[in-house]
Chain A
Amino acid sequence: MTTAVADTELAHDDHHGPDKGIRRWLFTTNHKDIGTMYLVFSLLMFFIGGAMALIIRTELAQPGLQFVHPEFFNSMTTMHALIMVFGAVMPAFVGLANWMIPMQIGAPDMALPRMNNWSFWILPVAFSMLLSTLLMPGGGPASGWTMYPPLVLQTGNAFPFLIFSVHLMGLSSIMGAINIIVTIINMRTHEMTLIKMPMFVWTWLITAYLLLAVMPVLAGAVTMLLTDQFFGTSFFLAAGGGDPVMFQHIFWFFGHPEVYIMILPAFGVVSEIIPTFSRKKLFGHDSMVYAAASIAFLSFIVWAHHMFTVGMPLTGQMFFMFATMLIAVPTGVKVFNWVGTMWRGSMTFETPMLFALAFVFLFTIGGFSGLMLAIVPADIQYHDSYFVVAHFHYVLVPGSIFAIMAAAYYWLPKWTGYMYSESAGKLHFWLSTIFVNLTFFPMHFLGLAGMPRRIPDYSTQFADFNLIASIGAFGFGMSQLIFVYVLLTSKKGAKATAQVWDKPKGLEWTVPSPAPYHTFDEPPHVGRKQAFE
């Protein structure tokens, strides 16, 4: 039984509640406020990146070039990815981390609250800079989010701003990662040993180490692009003795762990939600921790599977194929454990559970196409085709994004103090699920039929599935407006209890809803029994 000290402002002698107005948000060091800012920012970026996706799908709805020029189309695909990866998915997970990690470990705030503020405020600056490049001569960056040289060096005036904004985003992530690690290692309450931590905290601890390891590598890669462009170096220019392929190695050494950075917190969220709504403990908790750690370790040794057509020696191809196939094992273990949690549980299907279950189904489909991509001879046909686009959108949209939605619905009553509209949530869920499949499943067929990616127009035999995908995309985009409605009307529902759901585990459910501005000023005592899972 936990005896949390639910805090009020009266316990502080120097504190009169949060500042009013803009000062509150500019200068806050409160993990809840910062979490809220990250989440609102990521939602805004999600819609901006989504609008770019709709521009892409509008052009691709029919063969022929109807709406945009090819160079603008390329900047749309590039910016869509940069914004979704660095502006929507990553900040959303950091926002969830900020809100929930201190509460879940019984800490009053993050370890470094002022640095926390800066980690957030760098992002609006970085993305304003990146988005402004669309208005510059030469347009926005159009060489793909992967920024391969030599093509990226043909970017116009936008080039230094692209590099600088990537540096700023990296800085934000690195500082956030340091904060998360220090918080988790040092500020857990009594009796919460590492192995007893909730899965969301575990997956974020692992993710934070991945961030620390690879964001500096990305910074190095883009700095080398910068010096090749402006300072006479030839890291990637063959004419000066450099190697364009080296960029790909460096980029993907960052890039592969990056995709695990985007999915591990999602695994953590799903591992919290399914047990709650199955009314049954997470199956194989220790195994889930080891699986997450294995995935993180393996993620460092598979990067060249993004480069199988680059002219790699046979030995290299073999090694990267085997290592990539291996990642399927711990990932599969996680899926089996989620099913083992559901099995002989007592399930109800509120919106968070719906999103979490759809995650398991649809992320698994993305995992299957990932396994197919690992097989080198087959990958020679899939690489740079729409089959790859289908794969990564399945793991990122009904994968990461659905997990973020699940987390938002799960913890929203804790944040706001009110139950959101369950019928609107369910409508959001069903429409999103139907349209996301309509959008991305046909892309498997397009890739297999031979349609390359990153093209603004295509041969007529690809027309039918492209039209279906475009219709799906518009449906999916419109459905997200329901989520905005849910957020805007969140204060109209019934008042939420501290527990919100049916006996969920976790310290966050021991504080009132809405959670007070300061929680756990005194570390809570929890019994010797595992109270957290």
Chain B
Amino acid sequence: MKVTLTMKPVARSFIPIEAESIIPKNFLSGTDLSVWRGNRELSLDDIFSVSVEGEADNPEDVEIVISGDGLFRLKRVGEYMDGGKITILGDIGMHCGNFMSGGTIEIHGSADGWLGREMAGGTILCRGDAADYCASGYRGGRKGMTGGAVEVFGRTGDFLAENIAGGIVTVHGDAGDMAGAEMRDGTLIIHGDCSRPAANMKGGSCYIYGTAHALLPTFKKIGPVRHEGQTLIRFTGDIANRGKGNLFVKDYKYLD
């Protein structure tokens, strides 16, 4: 089953739309779904031109394609998604893929903050950039991402994979400040630069193939290691709180 949602043009409205109902499972029983714009409940038809091709019995066979202008206003698309596929042809708003546990979200543009926060499984591919708190935890949560994979082909903002406790996060561009802060487990791979990586890390592995700026002095240098054909420098830490994580960097700079 292929569901196509094309956002209708709206004049001058920047009010976010809470669209947590857009997940493959919900379309198995029709398209009679609602979303919220501010304090108003609207039906899916009010916001999108909806078309459905084919049929499906389980979420795995559902693909949702979202397109149109102003997708950056759509929040929480794919929240609690457990299977199927969502393809976004544009830039998506905040909290895309919250708590997802299965399936795939592919974003052909960029993603706003909190992409895939607290996700437990599944895959998110972002062809553009992701903003702050990509694949991170949330206020009041003790663990962030616990499983699955996030791959960002552009850059990410600050607090990438904060509190990550499982799964794998790959960023092909640069990451911002505090990447992998409070990391507990899982794997974080950054192909570009970042600053102050893995602060207060307790476990897991963080690989930085660019330069780690302002590396924290609370990491203990172990020495060079060969990893996937490259020479990286291995650190362990964060020893400030007896952490047992591994941090591998291609190059690093301490604060002056």
- Specify whether A and B are partners: no
Partner-B contacts on A (CB < 8 A): none
Query: Which B residues lie at the A interface, using CB under 8 A?
Result: none
